[in-house]
Structure 1
Amino acid sequence: MGIIEKSAHKTTIQRTETSQIRMERQALDGKSTTEYRTFQCVNQDTKQRNVDTFQLREEDLKVVDFKETEDKLHVNWSDGHESQHPLSYLSCWFKGAYAEEFGKDHTIRLWDSSIEAHPPSVPYNQFFVDHGWEAIDAPVYPESTEDLLKRLGPIRNTHYGGFYDFTPDLAMADTAYTNLALPAHTDTTYFTEPAGLQAFHCLSHEPAPGEALEEGESLGGESLLVDGFKAAITLRKENPWAFKTLAQVELPWHASGNVGISISPDKVYPVIEQEGGGHLKRIRWNNDDRGAVNPYDAKNWYAAARVWNEILRRKENEYWFKLEPGKIVIFNNWRVLHGRSAFKGIRRICGAYIPYDDFVSCYRVTNTPGGRVAGRSYNNRARMGFGRGKNYKEITEAPKQEAHVIEKS
């Protein structure tokens, strides 16, 4: 084992197996430890580990020498192996930091009803994710819509089928297959992993045969989008108690309206899901598909849910627009809630669900230079904040004092 002593912290480097390194930065107050791993000794074709971790004895793996150059940490091991670790990669494991050369997947941009002035719209062959949704120009054919969606990831098959093309005929026992108004909600809350992306393309909307509209009368059917992340952040600022309640109280979700269908997730889930560091991960909200709240939590949950519902329905948070033929609206179902007003006539909608992981994979591969895709995934982990870590500044500016010896088994 080698140790580098510095004025305010010490760095301990220990080889744990041929394909990874553990590097511990411990402040002299003994309070913080951070671990790192490198891209070493992997199969270059499959990008999988070549080494049987459990055939290696930790006591046989010793650091012989190491040095720090301008951009790398070089480590020589007792078995003759030499490893190189980019300093930017090691630094990305500090809470809030990331390796610049790998980049980030995207930047979250919150929005509200004012987005009507400049809605995000891109050509047929482009797609962006910062707002959580886009309106994409496309030919008015279901085949063109399906082709575009398959370029974003494989279409997810559900009890609704794969690529859907429907009118309000109640072919499925779901209010989506009616002409009723729908409040802002997310889809497939009853899946263990709700659909990642969702797409709608209005192919046509016409009066029903024999139906005539009066002068100035509209068919209705305006679409609604709400930024769930903005609503959650507003809730956290205005009512921390309500936010905490909706993030902690877990609910049963279900889909059982169709014959032969009874779907519920692997466990109960809260309305607001967070990841490390308090970052928002997913909104799961459809009051129509929600089961009964635990009686012990019901009073608090309903009080918090009323506050949440009021925020979702604020005019400044609602973006209303008309789905038009030739515009595919695609949105992140983990973030953006959607709904609609009631309508008359026959409206034909097509679209599909795309699994979130598959879309992110497609996005990284097409937007990340070769060889840096894995590094970007580590950046996302660093963004969450390493659970036991601290900011680099906190560590390097720790008070000078005796270091506590921490033994690890």
Structure 2
Amino acid sequence: MSIIKKVEPVSDKIEITWAEEDDVPLSTYHNIWLRDNCHCSQCYYPLTKQRLLNSATIDLGIKAKSINHDGNTVTIIWDNGTGNGNGADADADAEHESQFDAHWLKIHSYNPRLIPLDEKLHGAKTKLAQHLWQVKDIESNLPRVDYTTVMNSSDETDQEQAIKDWSLKLWQYGFCLIDNVPVTPEDTEQLCQQLNYIRPTHYGGFWDFTSDLAKADTAYTNFDISNHTDGTYWSNSPGLQLFHLLYHDGTGGTTSLVDAFKCAEIMRDKFPQSFEVFTRIRVPAHSAGEEKVCIQPDTPQPIFKLDNNDDKSSKIIQVRWNQSDRSTMDSWDDPDDVVKFYQAIKDWVSIITDPENELWYQMRPGQCLIFDNWRVLHSRSEFTGKRRLCGAYLERDDFVSRLKLLTLGRDAVLDAI
């Protein structure tokens, strides 16, 4: 079935009329963009999916000498441009042939954009949909997997399926429990590595600690710790975090989880001015408890990171919230923002501490908790007695990469790039 109805040159562009598009019948592409995205063997190395063409050598006035299509493939023979001197080697394009798959052209149409950025991956909208939650939505059916299934699958296919199921639950709900984990740091570390590599920091790689202040951080105390995300003092906050309570002979130490994406949407509806403040005002942060450590991000970042700051319906893609690690804020573009910012804090805390949004859960030996540190806030109540915990940070980009490949397939992922 033909996807393309007609292709014709229009000035420095090419116009494609689609065979079946009632609302948006055509797309327009610049000649230089098409030439830059040629995937022939001279311009693109298919084994590594990397460009070979130096974009600076393309003449800005490049034109098509001939254009043909069979309904599913567009073939262009390029002229050597206008000779206006804007290309380092304009003659290099003389008689060069480029072929473009119609499906690829449609996915990457930018004038107009036919497929939203988050839907380019075939099936991503449904298969990778995130389920934002409140306590009533999830408390009776927490996402969980079994350690034995994840670690000891009989063959590679079964193991990939187990990792896929685990990854999907973690992505969809922002956290997941792992049951029947041997109560040793060694087995817990192997569990982490089954999903992804462990991220080393000034706390070490894999942690195994008690409330002895071995590191100068309140996590190494028995204090109550309010809802937060970790690592706001890093430019790249940790993506995932895994905990395993190995031992506790006292009381307290209950963990809470909050879906910050859901809370941000509540804030957008209920307190729009405060939501806007959290998307705009950059908040400095630091980690300076250790004698030889004073970590700060290369530039302060806002509490809410959106996929498109210019779109009022844009999605939340990261929440950076940690009152303990916030530095002194003395660089205000508008001094009137001071009171607005503290009002936003009040509005935000009222939402994230609402019992409808804060899920309390008592961790126990033999059960690990892993969560998306960009999305889910966590806290811990004060405790008594000796408490031993182990865990690690894992990188989010590598997790998302594996999630997409396992869930959508490599062909769909490559199409989108």
Report the TM-score, using the length of structure 2 for normalisation.
0.77
2:238 to 195, 211, 232: 195
Cα separation, 2, equivalents of 1:319 and 1:312: 10
Q: Which residue of 1 aligns with 2:403?
A: 363
Say if 1:111 and 1:227, in contact at 8 Å, map to a contact too.
yes
Q: Which residue of 2 aligns with 1:132?
A: 174
Q: Which residue of 2 aligns with 1:103?
A: 124
Call closer, same or farther: CA 1:263–1:13 in 2, change over 3 Å: closer
Q: Which residue of 1 aligns with 2:91?
A: none
2:139 to 116, 124, 139: 116
Alignment coverage as a number of residue pairs: 349
RCO higher in structure (CA 8 A, sep ≥6): 1
Superposition pairs for residues 156-305 of structure 1, below 5 Å? Answer: 156-207=199-250, 219-276=251-308, 277=311, 278-294=314-330, 296=335, 297-305=337-345
1:146 matched to 2:189? The reply is yes
Q: CA deviation at 1:76?
A: 2.3
Which secondary structure does the structure 2 equivalent of 1:74 belong to?
Answer: strand
Which secondary structure does the structure 2 equivalent of 1:220 belong to?
Answer: coil
Which secondary structure does the structure 1 equivalent of 2:287 belong to?
Answer: coil
Which secondary structure does the structure 2 equivalent of 1:288 belong to?
Answer: coil
Call closer, same or farther: CA 1:63–1:353 in 2, change over 3 Å: farther
Cα separation, 1, equivalents of 2:102 and 2:190: 40
Calculate percent identity across the aligned residue pairs: 34
Q: CA deviation at 1:108?
A: 1.0
Cα separation, 2, equivalents of 1:89 and 1:350: 48
Structure 2 portions without partners, runs of 5+: 1-8, 79-94, 151-162
Q: Which residue of 2 aligns with 1:374?
A: 414
Identify, as 1 or 2, the structure richer in helix.
2
Say if 2:241 and 2:394, in contact at 8 Å, map to a contact too.
yes
Say if 1:14 and 1:63, in contact at 8 Å, map to a contact too.
no
1:353 matched to 2:393? The reply is yes
What amino acid sits opposite 1:224 in the alignment?
A: S
Q: CA deviation at 1:123?
A: 2.3
Which secondary structure does the structure 2 equivalent of 1:199 belong to?
Answer: strand
Q: Which residue of 2 aligns with 1:32?
A: none
Which secondary structure does the structure 2 equivalent of 1:344 belong to?
Answer: coil
C-alpha RMSD of the superposition: 2.5
Say if 2:317 and 2:374, in contact at 8 Å, map to a contact too.
yes
Q: Which residue of 2 aligns with 1:310?
A: 350
2:365 to 325, 332, 344: 325
What amino acid sits opposite 1:103 in the alignment?
A: A
Report the TM-score, using the length of structure 1 for normalisation.
0.79
Cα separation, 2, equivalents of 1:328 and 1:173: 25
Which secondary structure does the structure 1 equivalent of 2:31 belong to?
Answer: strand
Call closer, same or farther: CA 1:59–1:133 in 2, change over 3 Å: same
Q: CA deviation at 1:286?
A: 0.7
Q: Which residue of 1 aligns with 2:99?
A: 83
Cα separation, 1, equivalents of 2:122 and 2:275: 36
1:15 to 24, 28, 31: 31
User: Which range moved further: 285-294 or 188-197?
Assistant: 285-294
What amino acid sits opposite 1:106 in the alignment?
A: L
Q: CA deviation at 1:373?
A: 2.5
Which secondary structure does the structure 2 equivalent of 1:309 belong to?
Answer: helix
Cα separation, 1, equivalents of 2:264 and 2:39: 36
Say if 2:128 and 2:172, in contact at 8 Å, map to a contact too.
yes
Structure 1 portions without partners, runs of 5+: 22-36, 208-218, 379-409
Cα separation, 1, equivalents of 2:191 and 2:49: 29
Call closer, same or farther: CA 1:363–1:91 in 2, change over 3 Å: closer
User: Which range moved further: 83-92 or 309-318?
Assistant: 83-92
Cα separation, 1, equivalents of 2:319 and 2:215: 25
Deviations 1:372-397 (A, max 9, x none): 32335x5xxxxxxxxxxxxxxxxxxx
Cα separation, 2, equivalents of 1:134 and 1:323: 12
